[in-house]
Amino acid sequence: MMRIINYFIQNKSLNYVLLIFILFLGTNAYYNIPKELFPEIALDKISIRGAYAGASADNLDKMAVRDIEDELGNIQGIDKIETVIKSGTFSIVLSLTDTADKTDALNKAKDAIARSRQYLPADMTEPTAEILIHNRPLIRLSLSSEHMNKGQLIETAKEVKSKISRNPYVSEVKIYGDADQEVSVQVNEEVVRAYGLNPSDIINAISTTSYIYPIGDIKQSGNYIFLSTVNGKENKEEWESTLIKIGEKQIRLGDVAKVDITYPQNTTLSTFNGRTNVTLAISKGPEGNAMHISEELQTYAKEKLSNEFPEVYFDFYQDSSKPVKDRLNTVISNLMFGLVLVFLSMALLINVRIASIVSMGIPISFAIGIMFLYFMGYSINIVSLLGGLIVIGIVVDDAIVVSENIQRHLNEGLEKKEAVYQGLKRDGFACHFGNLDNSCSFSTSIYAHRRD
């Protein structure tokens, strides 16, 4: 170790070049490193998602989920299996034991899905499996309107979601407050009986009108039939013009029933500024700057989406990039304030040269820390900022101790380079082994050469 330190003491030009190079790389890393409120956390869970458009929860359970669960049950290292089935989609979460290897369990889960593929419907897309990551939404976008109904607002939200998802730094966009289409069919009993038919036969006939089997949930309430489906016809007119076959007769659905298409909202009621709304929760990926992405999304909504959808209000809220920006500004201002205080106190107590060298340890240490975070694939967040502040304080403290010791040797009459060598020989190891950067050796080497 002392040979390395002596090498830097004897080569002052190399010190200057390294310091400039470190500051340049640190500045470049700061502008390019991802900035977010909290880091992504990989949980000890595996998420399996699948979909079969139009299938009811009961049918989806019988046709797909049970077979997949049977295959997953044979995997070692799984603590429990949690399944949620909705109309058209299902989600299975595998909780792993403490000793299980996540990568190995994920590969086995994918193999289990592949083995169960033979039991799934032929037109169903194979489910996907991935390690569950805890990630907070970057920002939320509210879509509300005074003139659009709920259905129109939901369709607009789906279009906006598709456009925002094209952003390379956006990893996920979820819609909250939406609902599947519900086709309401009110049977006219008098007309049905005039055709010589039984109203109960209408339900069986309607179940064959979907283009893709199955049609979804079918419920009957009096003379009403409700179909919760994302398949089938595009609008009310197409449903009314549908020919249904009952026995030997073919009739138009619109001749025997009244059809309405609605978007029921049975579980959640949401408003924004007094207007019924639909919310998009937008999450960023591992890359990208949260502040830049947030500004880009707000500019895109103001300049593009507002012109394309003039009847819709686009309001952003719960922007997590704001606390990131505030904390970064706080850290930088505290670093600058600390730099000034260190310089003034050292200049008054020792001399200006030592004060200058010690003060240089603050930006240099910060640059080295940012470089390590950037090249190791980490981000700037609350956790890394807290660790950086603690380490920088230790680095500055060590630099003060080493610099004061060098000054003591100079006052005793030692030659400048020898004084630096002796000062580092006694206190330098505390600097190197107490911290993870070389700012102490760089700074004190420059101090010796500036004394020339």
Report residue 194's pLDDT band, with 50, 70 and 90 as the boundaries.
Answer: confident
C-beta separation of 149 from 312 below 8 A = no
322 has a pLDDT exceeding 80: yes
Identify residue 7 by its one-letter amino acid code: Y
How high is the pLDDT of residue 266?
Answer: 53
Report residue 423's pLDDT band, with 50, 70 and 90 as the boundaries.
Answer: confident
434 has a pLDDT exceeding 60: no
Least confident of 172-176, 210-214, 365-369, 403-407: 210-214
| Cα distances (angstroms) measured from residue 411 to each of 189, 405, 414, 430 | 110, 10, 7, 23
Percent of the chain clearing pLDDT 90 (strictly above): 3
How high is the pLDDT of residue 277?
Answer: 84
pLDDT digit string, tens, across residues 271-301: 777 787 888 989 887 777 888 888 899 999 9
Q: Can you tell me the mean pLDDT for 27-31?
A: 88
The pTM (predicted TM-score) of the whole model is 0.63
| Cα distances (angstroms) measured from residue 52 to each of 61, 123, 190, 330 | 11, 8, 37, 50
pLDDT digit string, tens, across residues 366-398: 888 888 888 888 888 878 877 777 777 777 777
Least confident of 107-111, 144-148, 226-230, 316-320: 226-230
How high is the pLDDT of residue 149?
Answer: 77
| Cα distances (angstroms) measured from residue 388 to each of 32, 327, 367, 402 | 18, 13, 10, 21
| More confidently predicted of 348 and 425 | 348
pLDDT digit string, tens, across residues 442-451: 444 444 444 4
How high is the pLDDT of residue 439?
Answer: 43
pLDDT digit string, tens, across residues 208-260: 554 434 444 555 544 444 444 444 555 667 777 777 777 677 777 777 777 77
Query: SS3 helix, strand, coil % of the chain, rounded to 5?
Result: 50, 20, 25
| Domains in the chain: ranges and CATH | 2-37+323-450 (1.20.1640.10), 41-134 (3.30.70.1430), 139-179+267-319 (3.30.70.1320), 182-262 (3.30.2090.10)
How high is the pLDDT of residue 242?
Answer: 73
